[in-house]
Amino acid sequence: MEDRFLKWLYERMSFFKKPLLVGVGDDCAVLAPQKEKIVVTTDTILEEVHFKPDTSPEDVGYKAASVSLSDIAAMGAKPLVLFAAAALPYKHSGGYAKRIVEGILDALGMFGVQLAGGNYALWSYPAAVTTTALGVSAKPLLRSGAKPNDLICVTGSLGGSILEKHLRFTPRVNEALYLSQNYKINAMMDISDGLALDLSRMMEASKTGCIIFESKLPISEDAIRLSKKDGISPVRHALSDGEDFEILFTMPKQEAKRLLNDKKIRIPISVIGEVSRERAMYFVRANGKKERLKPEGYIHGKRVGDSLKRRDCRNW
């Protein structure tokens, strides 16, 4: 019996490390029991929605794996294995699936994560790639733990991801794991649908509100570049652009002070505001003017308003 893709994949994946006891090739992958809790996430990226028809398959695979790794990071957990399921258009050559797998392995390789199983099926429509990642954590960090007076922090810089970063971002796995192991973090999540929208979800889940300062927002170079193209201010891009895949977290003030002096963290960490008891979100402009912060985001290029009625994606 000859099946080139499977033969290629089995050879490419022939080395399993613990805790993966059985990887590709059987009905299920098998994992050894872990002392820590197991965290699981699943995500889908779609052609024409999350990537373009001419995006390279390596970039598609890299992004598909990275969005799930970002969710594992968002729990302060260590990713272990990933599963990939793809619907692929007939029109592509046989090499397309392999090249997607190579992109997936690029992303997994950064963190020693193993590809443990999956499937693909051909059809007459654009590509859809779903990844499921498993990780472990002694104490997973939820989005619901923010406490009044916590400081609100973000990694990296925000906005303009659509220009380039959304395809080849580095999931904040190492940083979030380091934070979870060395600091008292009360709430953590990744920023996938825009800071303001994801922040509103964290505040909602934590039954708290917040105040955010314009002057403290880490605005990316790409947000500024994009602003010059579309006339929307860099600040608004930083507040509402999707797919930053940075980490949003809250911690007590003393902990934040310690963190800002930690030389082991190699990426920028910004304190952008504070959690409040009042369940409303405020935004303080650079000129001192205080206004309501709307939970708006741009999801895959579509503006999402307060009501979220126009949202086309749901993660649960």
Q: List the interface residues with a copy of itself, window 270-309 (CB under 8 A).
A: 295, 306-309
User: Within 10 Å of residue 175's Cβ, how many Cβ atoms?
Assistant: 21
- Kindly tell me which of 86 and 256 has the beta carbon lying closer to a copy of itself: 86
- Minimal CA–CA distance to 5: which of 63, 88, 64? 88
CB 145, min distance to a copy of itself, A: 10
Q: Please identify which residue in 61, 117, 209, 242 interacts with a copy of itself, judged by CB under 8 A.
A: 117
The answer to whether residue 312 forms part of the interface with a copy of itself (CB under 8 A) is yes
CB 112, min distance to a copy of itself, A: 18
- Binding segment for a copy of itself (CB under 8 A), chosen from 35-43, 177-185, 230-238, 284-292, is 35-43
- Kindly tell me which of 36 and 221 has the beta carbon lying closer to a copy of itself: 36
Nearby residues of 200 by Cβ (< 8 Å), 6 or more positions away: 281, 295
List Cβ<8 Å contacts ≥24 apart for 52-60. 53/126, 55/167, 56/99, 56/103, 57/92, 57/96, 57/97, 57/99, 57/100, 57/102, 57/103, 58/99, 58/100, 58/102, 58/103, 58/106, 59/103, 59/167, 59/168, 60/100, 60/103, 60/127, 60/129
The answer to whether residue 71 forms part of the interface with a copy of itself (CB under 8 A) is yes
Spatial distance between the Cα atoms of 66 and 260, rounded to a whole number of angstroms: 27
Residues 83 to 102 in contact with a copy of itself, rule: CB under 8 A: 83-87, 90, 97
CB 150, min distance to a copy of itself, A: 18
The answer to whether residue 53 forms part of the interface with a copy of itself (CB under 8 A) is no
- Binding segment for a copy of itself (CB under 8 A), chosen from 55-63, 81-89, 177-185, 259-267, is 81-89
155 backbone dihedrals φ, ψ, rounded to 5°: -90, 160
* Both tokens assigned to 264: 């082991």
Judged by DSSP in three states, 230 sits in helix
Pairing of strands 246-251, 187-191: antiparallel
Residues 205 to 234 in contact with a copy of itself, rule: CB under 8 A: 205
- Kindly tell me which of 176 and 223 has the beta carbon lying closer to a copy of itself: 176
- Kindly tell me which of 103 and 234 has the beta carbon lying closer to a copy of itself: 103
313 backbone dihedrals φ, ψ, rounded to 5°: -130, 145
- Kindly tell me which of 211 and 247 has the beta carbon lying closer to a copy of itself: 247
- Kindly tell me which of 116 and 223 has the beta carbon lying closer to a copy of itself: 116
* Both tokens assigned to 250: 């809250």
CB 2, min distance to a copy of itself, A: 6
